[in-house]
Amino acid sequence: MLELFDFHANNFQLFEDAIYFITSKIDSSKISINVATPSPLKELVESTNLKIHYLPRENLIWHLKGGKYSGDRIEINYETPKIFCELWNLSYICNNTITSLVDSGMCLERLNMAINEYKNVFETEELLNIKKKLSKQISFEEPLSNYISDQLRALQKLFLQDILPGPRGANGETRKLLKNVLVRIKNNDTDLNIIKEFLPYDNILNQEILIFEKNYNKAIRYLKNNLKQKTYDIQKVRELRMNQSIQEPIVFNWAQKNNIFFSLSKK
């Protein structure tokens, strides 16, 4: 529980360190910050002298599940005429005169993209090599090729750590990743054995392919239902946010109940 921890020490140090690190690697003219208005974090953000986007508070507010705690979020972005993406975010609880950092998250791939001035996160050498090898065997549209390459890269790292496909725990997560790849390869009418060119342990892969084939119809239904539900959830959030008469707690409670809180921060 939050009250068991002391979040009051060096509340703004991580934000300052994040700004220092990013601006030491990337031209500051390409960095912007999202902050809510009104927000007790406004003065902190303005002290950076970076480009600032002032957004409605509902776009950056967050609520801990259960609704007891809420606060403001700062987002640090990489911004050029062609690219806009969030690099780092920090979440705070603001209670009267006390402001406490409670969470922080960054995307190393996006930082790498920005530092090297790639057009997107998929221009890293590692992913490009997988995509090139994949394109020799199978034809995918760009977004799907990016997705499969990213999943295969994650699987390669897991296999190297001997976190192999299995029924439970971390092994279960590896199996889920592998299933995501197999579904898309199967939908493209391509031989599933292609994954052996990217992953070791042929005997294990043979077993996983057999398991997948037996449950293919079930996997298709699962994928379709997930996509349908996600589309509905995002649309529902947009409708709720457009309805100005609905108060914030109703929106957040509905989102928490339906496990789609992530959608509230998206435009």
CATH of the domain spanning 2-116, picked from 3.30.930.10, 3.40.50.300, 1.10.1670.10, 3.40.640.10: 3.30.930.10
Total-model pTM? 0.55
Q: How far is 218 from 184, CA to CA, in rounded Å? A: 14
Average predicted confidence (pLDDT) for the chain: 78
106: left (phi over 0), alpha (psi -120 to 50) or beta: beta
- pLDDT, position 55: 93
**pLDDT at 233 exceeding the cut of 70:** no
Q: How confident is the model at residue 144 (pLDDT cuts 50, 70, 90)?
A: confident
pLDDT of residue 79: 93
Q: Is it the case that residue 155 has pLDDT exceeding 90?
A: yes
pLDDT of residue 238: 55
Over range 202-227, report the average pLDDT: 81
Please give the residue that has the higher pLDDT: either 264 or 181: 181
Secondary structure element (H or E) that encloses residue 240, with its range: helix 216-242
Give the pLDDT confidence score for residue 50 in this predicted structure: 96
At residue 219 the predicted structure's pLDDT band, cuts being 50, 70 and 90, is low
| Region 206-214 average pLDDT | 91
Amino acid at 170: A
* 143-152, 153-162, 179-188, range with greatest mean pLDDT: 153-162
Nearest-angstrom CA–CA distance, 254 and 267: 18
Residue type, 22: I
- Domain borders along the chain are 2-116, 124-214, 221-265
Separation between Cα atoms, residue 267 and residue 259, nearest integer Å: 18
pLDDT given for residue 244 in this prediction: 41
pLDDT of 38 reads 84
Per-residue pLDDT, averaged over 51-57, amounts to 92
How many other C-beta atoms can be found within 10 angstroms of the C-beta atom of residue 193? 12
Tokens of 26: 């990337």
Distance set, CA 78 to CA 57, 83, 104, 218 (Å): 21, 7, 17, 41
> Is the link from the previous residue into 38 a cis peptide, with omega within 30 of 0?
yes
Max mean pLDDT range (12-16, 51-55, 182-186): 51-55
pLDDT reported for residue 95: 66
